[in-house]
């Protein structure tokens, strides 16, 4: 499996009004259920995906330095919509629906999978997908399926291991290694250890996201 290796061109962050924490504006734009409803202004976008409850809302809020912007869910999987956030009036963060929630009916699941596939394959402004994995567990079948979908769609992928604060030093090393092995990652593939509690990983994520916003379409 070929993985995108990322260079750290941090200076590009300045052009997009980003330093690690310099978010001048971050607002919810809209939720869509059909690809045709996505913004058409050509601004670049970064999407975030992961199973329900992985910590996606918390990560988005931490990256954008806005406490309640992305709703921290009480009912996992309740939203099947693609949520757009306008950041610095320059680009979008896209919160993709959480997967792997058992109580979602079959029909909804297949519709979800159709919309996600269409989005990932054909969404031209999409520059990078950040896939979130829970640092405490080996990736689930659903995580594997998602990664496979991303690989087939040929979108650059960055992995983030969430809730890293819940692990001891030893567990952390062991689990990150196990995740790499389980997903059969190349040596140059990056997994960013992340915690919304300690803010570990915020800066490294921005260091990778910022240059992606600048890459040609
Ligand atoms: P989502 O369903 O993927 O959007 O997940 P949420 O952001 O709503 O988080 C799910 C649960 O995990 C909530 O109870 C959060 O408080 C908790 N959580 C999320 N991120 C972290 C983290 O980095 N560390 C810890 N300890 N808990 C977290």
What lies within 8 Å, CB to CB, of 166 at 6+ separation is: 135, 136
Binding site membership of 166 for ligand 1 (Cβ less than 6 Å): yes
As given in the structure block, the two tokens for residue 95 are 């919160």
Binding site membership of 67 for ligand 1 (Cβ less than 6 Å): no
62 neighbors 23 (Cβ within 8 angstroms): no
pTM equals: 0.89
As given in the structure block, the two tokens for residue 125 are 């402004």
What lies within 8 Å, CB to CB, of 29 at 6+ separation is: 39, 84, 85, 86, 92
What lies within 8 Å, CB to CB, of 145 at 6+ separation is: none
Q: Which of 72, 97, 195, 197 to mutate to test the pocket of ligand 1 (most atoms within 8 A of CB)?
A: 72
- The number of the ligand 1 atom at minimal distance from the alpha carbon of 50 is 3
Mean pLDDT of the chain: 86
pLDDT tens-digit profile of 97-135? 888 766 667 777 777 788 889 999 999 999 999 999 999
pLDDT at 114: 86
Sheet bearing 82-87, strands edge to edge: 26-32, 82-87, 91-95, 45-50, 126-134, 157-162, 191-193
């Amino acid at each position: 499996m070929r993985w995108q290796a990322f260079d750290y061109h941090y200076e590009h962050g300045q052009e997009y009004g980003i330093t690690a924490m310099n978010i001048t504006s971050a607002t919810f734009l809209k939720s869509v259920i059909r690809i045709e409803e996505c913004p058409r202004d050509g601004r670049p976008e970064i999407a975030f995906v992961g199973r329900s409850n992985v910590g996606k809302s918390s990560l988005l809020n931490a990256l954008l330095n806005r406490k309640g912007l992305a709703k921290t869910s009480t009912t996992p999987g309740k939203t099947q919509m693609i949520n757009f956030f306008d950041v610095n009036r320059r680009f979008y963060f896209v919160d993709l629906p959480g997967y792997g929630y058992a109580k979602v009916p079959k029909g909804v699941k297949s519709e979800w999978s159709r919309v996600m596939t269409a989005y990932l394959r054909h969404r031209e402004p999409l520059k990078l997908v950040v896939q979130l994995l829970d640092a405490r567990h080996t990736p689930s079948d659903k995580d594997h399926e998602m990664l496979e979908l991303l690989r087939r769609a040929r979108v650059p992928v960055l992995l983030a291991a969430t809730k890293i604060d819940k692990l001891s030093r030893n567990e952390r090393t062991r689990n990150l290694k196990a995740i790499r092995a389980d997903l059969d990652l190349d040596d140059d593939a990056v997994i960013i250890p992340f915690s919304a509690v300690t803010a570990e990983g915020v800066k490294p994520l921005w260091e990778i996201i910022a240059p992606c916003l600048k890459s040609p379409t």
